[in-house]
Amino acid sequence: MPVPHHVFDPPFNIVRCSHVMLDVADLGASRAFYEGAIGLHVEDADDNVVYLRGCEEHQHHSLVLRKAASPGCARIAFKVASEDDLDKAAAFCAENKLPHTFVEQPFQGRTLVLTDPFGVRIGLYATMDRRPSLLRRYDLYKGCHPQRLDHFNIFAPEVQDTVDFYARLGFRLTEYAEEDGEDGRIAAAWMHRKGNVHDLAFTNGSGPRLHHFAYWVPSPLNILHLCDVMATTGYLPSLERGPGRHGISNAFFLYVRDPDGHRLEIYTSDYQTMDPDHAPLRWSLRDPRRQTLWGAPAPRSWFEEGTPFAGQAVREPQFIADVIVAD
Amino acid sequence: MPVPHHVFDPPFNIVRCSHVMLDVADLGASRAFYEGAIGLHVEDADDNVVYLRGCEEHQHHSLVLRKAASPGCARIAFKVASEDDLDKAAAFCAENKLPHTFVEQPFQGRTLVLTDPFGVRIGLYATMDRRPSLLRRYDLYKGCHPQRLDHFNIFAPEVQDTVDFYARLGFRLTEYAEEDGEDGRIAAAWMHRKGNVHDLAFTNGSGPRLHHFAYWVPSPLNILHLCDVMATTGYLPSLERGPGRHGISNAFFLYVRDPDGHRLEIYTSDYQTMDPDHAPLRWSLRDPRRQTLWGAPAPRSWFEEGTPFAGQAVREPQFIADVIVAD
Amino acid sequence: MPVPHHVFDPPFNIVRCSHVMLDVADLGASRAFYEGAIGLHVEDADDNVVYLRGCEEHQHHSLVLRKAASPGCARIAFKVASEDDLDKAAAFCAENKLPHTFVEQPFQGRTLVLTDPFGVRIGLYATMDRRPSLLRRYDLYKGCHPQRLDHFNIFAPEVQDTVDFYARLGFRLTEYAEEDGEDGRIAAAWMHRKGNVHDLAFTNGSGPRLHHFAYWVPSPLNILHLCDVMATTGYLPSLERGPGRHGISNAFFLYVRDPDGHRLEIYTSDYQTMDPDHAPLRWSLRDPRRQTLWGAPAPRSWFEEGTPFAGQAVREPQFIADVIVAD
Amino acid sequence: MPVPHHVFDPPFNIVRCSHVMLDVADLGASRAFYEGAIGLHVEDADDNVVYLRGCEEHQHHSLVLRKAASPGCARIAFKVASEDDLDKAAAFCAENKLPHTFVEQPFQGRTLVLTDPFGVRIGLYATMDRRPSLLRRYDLYKGCHPQRLDHFNIFAPEVQDTVDFYARLGFRLTEYAEEDGEDGRIAAAWMHRKGNVHDLAFTNGSGPRLHHFAYWVPSPLNILHLCDVMATTGYLPSLERGPGRHGISNAFFLYVRDPDGHRLEIYTSDYQTMDPDHAPLRWSLRDPRRQTLWGAPAPRSWFEEGTPFAGQAVREPQFIADVIVAD
């Protein structure tokens, strides 16, 4: 794989991944899941939309649930550094012939919605309403006590091209999995803007589809407690994979499916990557510890199922790796 | 100290410590403390009394709060193995001229209330109403998620005599602190019936008074979370000592005071002691790690304050140890 | 299932499960596994045998590894309350025509070795050399820091008969799994002497064989750390099942296989059961949370493989439950 | 307090705090402390110097111990983004008349050593020898398993001026403590470059002196284990304060003193701060939870003792806050 050299002076400045907007069939069921079981904080809600956030987040929302006829991912969203960056992003879209438009989104400033060259729907904004951190509101502890949205993981039919595109936007590669041999193709990649393992990861597969979004928790015990709570309150079928340890990113993980099948990762661990000369870590597709350090296999659904982006067709991947590779 | 040889065939068979009955000035405030902050489960309640238990306990109550004109400890209570043991206990009391009487206590069978030779008020019973264990009700997790009552600690003015008396009742010594030298006097003792470090401990001091009762939790993180919850919900002044590690019993501990000043220990760790030839562990009064392995001193209140038993006069201790000795 | 009424006055007094003696092919490899990876403390060793114990254990050994031509379980062993109980046990064996003999076993007193009616090889003794507890030797922390041997689990071809036999010896039932319906047969049973969930459990299957022996650790994090250590030091294939939560006993568990395939459980959680009127908990074979609260299936090996007792033939089970039932 | 507006385009680009160089009297004793008790990894060592790092760090060292006649802090060091930034930094020093010189430092590239306007000795460099991350070397787990250097805390006699100077260098304020009232003076400040609570904090006091440097660990249990290890291996007097929770930064902390009295914080928790519009959190000096959420007071030594910078005079603070303010 030609490891992409991330751009230090990207066309506009993305600070970090910020929130995800999901279309859900039954708003009440989804709210019960994310608020009652997972333990996110509901910041605002009406009959059509629920806004939630993690306890350390000081902006209004990191998860937006919208009542919709058919489930899907409306968009994943990133915060940019300034209003000026929004205009630069719009110019970049125009220049690169990417569909884009400014929209109104409650509780946040000007919002640019664009479609990347591969069909991923993306929101960009610079300012959002602020709310007091709930980090010291220990009385509100519930579920796994999610602290902050950490990253998105996308099924990409063209991983190499996708990685190259995001490197141009300043995303830096931290870990990747590829086939062995001289012409080994990249099968998965982890890229960041904010200084930890990732804001955005890509996995070879039918796409574009959202594989999962992830919330960070402070300790593995938060995750074990969530398993116990879900298994004894009717959410046993929602426990898809884990708990376990990824070799990649060293994350202790749990994957759960919400009432519409959208996949949420709860994870802890991670490490810092803000050094400009931080070297990416390569994993051979043949090393099984990459996916599951402890050896327990992931279920088939985890490799195959994902959430399409609203209005975007899903394509087959460019190649079938000789080892199952989603991570 | 003459280490007492516990009696293998005691006059009646005490199984374990079972519950404590506290007189409280404001029943609502006490319930808010034990249910809302600490996280005990309220099993029954009316205007005059609240019954609570820990999540693994399968009997109706381990803590009984009674509305009373003046706060105090009505009694500490132990479960005996059978109804027959209750009659044997009554006979023992008669023979030893200990005040005793059978009383009605809701939710439990025949109950013998006696006063030991030192003024400690004790309840004995063989059967109590059963309730389903809440151990797998992870959705009810709250506060520090107390699992079970573990032991009582008593300020005793005559420690050696008290230890000798309870050894006659079959309590076995597991750890003790004494002065150095040939005539070193015992200053504190830990004794058990149920097979862990203690059901009952005695500390040299003005008494008889209840120093504390203790609930066991599964992990130090439960205790750290309780500190966070209490410190941010108005209970900061209730945090008296800890968290820390006792050398004795290897317990990770926290001491809190309820609205009437009754002292509750939350602790974890412990070890098994059911071997008949289990040898007690001696601590010199001069070893500071006995009380606090990590060196942080306990506040004065912890050495001096305790809850009198209803109707019992408090006596000064027989000797003042040359080192402060309460543990 | 006719729930057995355990005998309060058994023919001899078993205190608790005490140690297991395993025959191993490569003593060095086995020692490396139990000392280096698991973290048990080697108390004594020579060219033919290694003695190990957990950090809270105050007796000389809880695991004995013997160099042998073929791997197997030489015996599981229990501590009895007194020398007198050993003689009573010998008399019981004679009366019930059970093969038995007194043998020399280093570091412990008189040792009675017997074969139970089903072919399980059992050692009994009253006294063992004592060693200082290592509970406060935090500098020796290694692997999962096992604290004490907790129980044995046996594949039994005749579960009901086996349970009835051990109830006569004073073992009390705490949990059991059985078929639904009036004639539902018992498929697994957990029995104790020491006051927690079990000293001895039986699972329907080809036997007699040792399914596993278990060490207790203080926290789930000890188990997660062991997974990480084993996965990155060449022991990945030894991780057989878990980590996960059993519904039964509420245990957080990990099953690993030693170099000879002997199975070791590392677990935490548990609850107290010393009340004489403690009621056993019934699980339907159709409730999957019994085995794995969180839903992840156990591998086939876990249901099928076990360690034969030296010199004992293995029989097929009396019935095949319509649901896989080993726990 | 006039909250400083951090500069988005600072004169040179500091990425993060990187390492500290300490002068120590007995190199063997210091190595035993940091490697044997704390658990840092020794990367290189000779008779005069020892280089150590945390397990996630991919650069050669984050702690340098130098044998010296008198103990002190030789310098604290930051990584800059590029060689070009080093030249810009030198130009900035020249322009602002700050003493500065390029020195040779083994295992790293060009190194600029400067003295800030207040006497703090600072090293800057862009590249350091890389080493493989030890994050997945779970077999090396020791002590508290420190993961990475996180920040420095400096006693500053002129806090407001110091904060203003570092804001010019691009450090952003995240939390601060100040006197109440219109003219309330700032008494402590936390500032970052890397996107968490701090790289550099300042506390009103005699200085310039290093109050402490801090390593991050993944969980409070790492810290509790370190307390247990230190208390039972002769390092009890080294435990200065904690464990406890700071209100500020929500950190779970422990402060220990090395053989020369240099202070090390071990801590966990934290939160992300990379948003350009992240608003700093103000604490009143009168809020005791700022320092210790759970109420336990810090010892006098913690407020008064610190490590001078080699060759720099120590000045009294400009004002004495009416409440003790070090955090």
Which of A195, A271, A275 has the CB atom closest to D79's CB atom?
A275
Asked whether the beta carbons of D256 and D238 are under 8 A apart, the reply is yes
Residue range D131-143, pLDDT digits in tens: 999 999 999 989 9
pLDDT category of residue B5 using cuts at 50, 70 and 90: low
Per-residue pLDDT at B324 exceeds 60 = no
CB of C63 closer than 8 Å to CB of C20: yes
Using a CB-CB distance cutoff of 8 angstroms, which residues of chain B are in contact with residue D252? 224
Name the residue facing D220 among B221, B230, B232 (closest C-beta). B221
Predicted confidence band at B170 (pLDDT cuts at 50, 70, 90)? Answer: very high
Is B233's Cβ below 8 Å from some Cβ in A? yes
More confident residue, A214 or C297: A214
* Residues B216/B232, Cβ–Cβ less than 8 Å: no
Distance (Å) from the alpha carbon of C93 to chain B's nearest alpha carbon: 23
Where does the pLDDT of residue A158 fall: very low under 50, low under 70, confident under 90, or very high at 90 and above?
Answer: very high
| A89 pLDDT tier (thresholds 50, 70, 90) | very high
Residue A2 has pLDDT above 80, yes or no: no
C230 chain-A contacts, CB cut-off 8 A: 294
At residue B3, does pLDDT exceed 60? no
Q: Given this model, what pLDDT does residue D313 score?
A: 96
Q: Which residue of A has its CA nearest to B143?
A: A139
Read off the pLDDT of each residue in C139-161 and give the average, rounded to a whole number: 96
Q: Judge whether residue B145 has pLDDT over 60.
A: yes
* Residue that is written with structure tokens 């820390």 in the block: B244
Domain boundaries, chain C: 14-128, 148-308
Judged by DSSP in three states, B78 sits in: strand
Question: A116-125, D216-225, D245-254: lowest mean pLDDT where?
Answer: D245-254
Query: How confident is the model at residue C151, as a pLDDT?
Result: 98
Beta bridge partners of A128: A108
Q: Is D218 on the interface with B (CB under 8 A)?
A: no
Testing the interface with A: which of B135, B138, B140 to mutate, by most A Cβ within 10 A?
A: B138
Contacts of B289 in chain D (CB under 8 A): 231-232, 236
Q: Place domain D148-308 in its CATH homologous superfamily.
A: 2,3-Dihydroxybiphenyl 1,2-Dioxygenase, domain 1 (3.10.180.10)
Q: Do D79 and A271 touch (CB under 8 A)?
A: no
- Chain B closest CA to D113's CA: distance in Å? 39
Q: Which residues contact D53 (CB under 8 A, 6 or more apart)?
A: D40, D41, D43, D59, D60, D61, D62, D63, D131
* Nearest-neighbour CA in chain C from D190: distance (Å): 32
The answer to whether D297 contacts chain B (CB < 8 Å) is no
For C138, the closest of D138, D139, D232 (CB atoms) is D232
CATH of region A14-128: 3.10.180.10
The answer to whether B269 contacts chain C (CB < 8 Å) is yes
Q: Where is A253: in which H helix or E strand?
A: strand A252-257
Q: What one-character DSSP code corresponds to residue A141?
A: -
φ and ψ of D262, to 5 deg: -60, 140
pLDDT at position A99 over 90: yes
**Mutation target among C294, C300, C302 for the A interface, most CBs of A within 10 A:** C294
d(CA A140, CA D224): 25
Mean pLDDT of chain C: 93
The C-alpha torsion from C94 through C99 and C101 to C105, rounded to 10°, is -140
A166-170, C112-116, D62-66, D319-323: which has the minimum mean pLDDT? D319-323
CA distance C295 to chain A (A): 7
Nearest CA-CA distance, residue C300 and chain D, Å:
29
Provide the mean pLDDT of chain D.
Answer: 93
C275 touches chain B (CB under 8 A): yes
Task: Please list every residue in chain D whose beta carbon sits closer than 8 Å to the beta carbon of residue B239.
Answer: 294-295
pLDDT bin (cut points 50, 70, 90) of residue C318 is: confident
pLDDT given at position C247? 86
Å from D248 to nearest chain C CA?
Answer: 27
C-beta atoms of D295 and B236 within 8 A: yes
Q: Mind listing the pLDDT tens digit for each residue in B198-245?
A: 999 999 999 999 999 999 999 999 999 999 999 999 999 999 999 999
CB contact under 8 A, A228 and B137: no
Distance separating alpha carbons of residues A86 and A316, to the nearest angstrom: 32
CB contact under 8 A, C245 and A224: yes
Contact status, residue B80 vs residue B14, Cβ threshold 8 Å: yes
Q: For residues D326 and D296, what is the distance between their CA atoms, to the nearest angstrom?
A: 15
The structure tokens listed for B87 are 């009659």
**Bridge-based pairing state of the strands A111-115 and A121-125:** antiparallel
Tokens standing for residue A36: 């009652």
| Confidence class for position D181, pLDDT limits 50, 70, 90 | confident
Per-residue confidence band for C289, with pLDDT thresholds at 50, 70 and 90 = confident
Percent of chain A exceeding pLDDT 90 equals: 86
D247 touches chain A (CB under 8 A): yes
* Contact (Cβ atoms closer than 8 angstroms) between residue C191 and residue C199: yes
Per-residue pLDDT at D289? 76
Q: Does A140 touch chain B (CB under 8 A)?
A: no
Q: What is the mean pLDDT of residues B118-146?
A: 95
Provide the pLDDT confidence category of residue D287 given band limits of 50, 70 and 90. Answer: confident
Closest among A269, A241, A260, A258 to A327, alpha carbons compared: A241
Distance CA B95, CA B12 (A): 13
Angle value at C-alpha B113, between B110 and B115, nearest 5 degrees: 160
Percent of chain C with pLDDT strictly greater than 70: 95
Question: Quick one: which of B163, B145, B143, B78 has its CA closest to B113?
Answer: B78
D224 closest CB neighbour out of B220, B237, B295: B220
Question: Does B179 score more than 60 pLDDT?
Answer: yes
pLDDT at residue D6 greater than cutoff 60: no
The pTM of the full predicted model, rounded to 2 decimals, is 0.95
Transcribe B15-75 into DSSP letters. Answer: EEEEEEEEEES-HHHHHIIIIIII-PEEEEE-SSEEEEE-TT--BS-SEEEEE-SS-EEEE
Q: Say if the Cβ atoms of A232 and B141 lie within 8 Å.
A: no
User: Nearest to residue D160, comparing CAs of D148, D173, D170?
Assistant: D173
Residues above pLDDT 90, as percent of chain B: 86
- Could you say which of A195, A275, A279 has the minimum Cβ distance to residue D274? A195
In degrees rounded to 5, what are phi and psi of residue A250?
Answer: 60, 20
Superfamily of domain D14-127: 2,3-Dihydroxybiphenyl 1,2-Dioxygenase, domain 1 (3.10.180.10)
- Do B137 and A232 make contact, defined as CB atoms within 8 angstroms? yes
Report the residue of chain C nearest B56, measured CA to CA: C271
Q: Among C135, C141, C217, which would you mutate to test the D interface (most chain D Cβ atoms within 10 Å of its Cβ)?
A: C141
H or E element that contains A16: strand A14-24
pLDDT recorded at residue C9: 87
Q: Is the pLDDT of residue D39 over 50?
A: yes
**B69-94: pLDDT as tens digits:** 999 999 999 999 999 999 999 999 99
Q: Which residue of A has its CA nearest to D246?
A: A136
pLDDT at B130: 97
To the nearest whole number, what is the mean pLDDT of chain A?
A: 93
Q: Does B136 lie at the interface with A, CB-CB under 8 angstroms?
A: yes
- The reported pLDDT for the residue numbered A154 is 98
Per CATH, D14-127 and D148-308 having the same topology is answered yes
* A293–C220 CB contact, under 8 Å: no
Place of tokens 């501590």: C79
What contacts B236, CB < 8 A, 6 or more positions away?
A: B230, D289, D294, D295
d(CA C209, CA A274): 55
Q: Given pLDDT bands bounded at 50, 70 and 90, which one contains residue B183?
A: confident
CA distance C264 to C152: 10
pLDDT at residue A194, rounded to an integer:
97
**What is residue B220's predicted lDDT score, i.e. its pLDDT?**
95
Contact residues for C92 (Cβ-Cβ < 8 A; gap 6+): C11, C12, C98
- With a CB cutoff of 8 Å and minimum separation 6, the contacts of B141 are A225, A229, B39
Question: How far apart (Å, rounded) are the C-alpha atoms in residues B212 and C320?
Answer: 53
Q: In this predicted model, what pLDDT tens digit does every residue of C13-35 receive, in sequence order?
A: 999 999 999 999 999 999 999 99
* Element (DSSP H or E) covering residue B92: helix B83-95
Chain B residues lying within 8 Å of C195, measured CB to CB? 194-195, 274
Residue A133 at interface with chain B, using a CB cutoff of 8 Å? no
Chain C: touching chains (3 or more CB pairs < 8 Å): A, B, D
Q: Do B218 and C250 touch (CB under 8 A)?
A: no
Contact A194 D194 (CB under 8 A): no
Q: Are strands D148-156 and D200-204 parallel, antiparallel or unpaired?
A: parallel
pLDDT exceeds cutoff 70 at D321: no
| A194 in contact with D, Cβ within 8 Å | yes
Using CA atoms, how far apart are residues B13 and B36, in angstroms rounded to an integer?
36
Residues from chain A contacting residue C245 (CB–CB below 8 Å): 224, 227-228, 231
Cα C79 to Cα C126: distance, rounded to the nearest angstrom: 5
Buried b (16+ CB within 10 A) or exposed e, D269-279: bbbbbbbbebe
Beta-carbon contacts of residue B6 (< 8 Å; ≥ 6 apart):
B167, B170, B171, B172, B173, B191
The burial of D182, by beta-carbon neighbours within 10 Å (0-12 exposed, 13-18 middle, 19 or more buried), is given as exposed
Q: Does A139 touch chain B (CB under 8 A)?
A: yes
DSSP C139: G
Q: Which residues of D are less than 8 Å from C232 in CB distance?
A: 136-139
What does the pLDDT read at residue D2?
A: 57
> Is residue D320 less than 8 Å (CB to CB) from chain C?
no
- Beta-sheet pairing, B121-125 with B63-67: unpaired
Q: Touching check for A138 and chain B: CB below 8 Å?
A: yes
| CA–CA separation, A170 and C51 (whole Å) | 59
**Cβ contacts of A59 on chain D, cutoff 8 Å:** 275
Cβ of B245 within 8 Å of Cβ of D228? The answer is: yes
Cβ–Cβ below 8 Å for C250 and B135: yes
Question: Residue C58 and residue B278: Cβ atoms within 8 Å?
Answer: yes
Determine the distance in angstroms separating the CA of D210 from the nearest CA of chain A, rounded to an integer: 24
Q: Answer whether CATH 3.10.180.10 is correct for domain A146-308.
A: yes
User: pLDDT digits over A169-201, tens only?
Assistant: 999 999 999 999 888 899 999 999 999 999 999
Q: What is the mean pLDDT of residues C257-278?
A: 96
What are the tokens at D251?
């950190």
| Record: contact D138-C219, CB cut-off 8 A | no
Rounded to whole angstroms, the maximal C-alpha distance in chain C is 55
**Stretch among A321-325, C222-226, D35-39, D53-57 having the lowest mean pLDDT:** A321-325
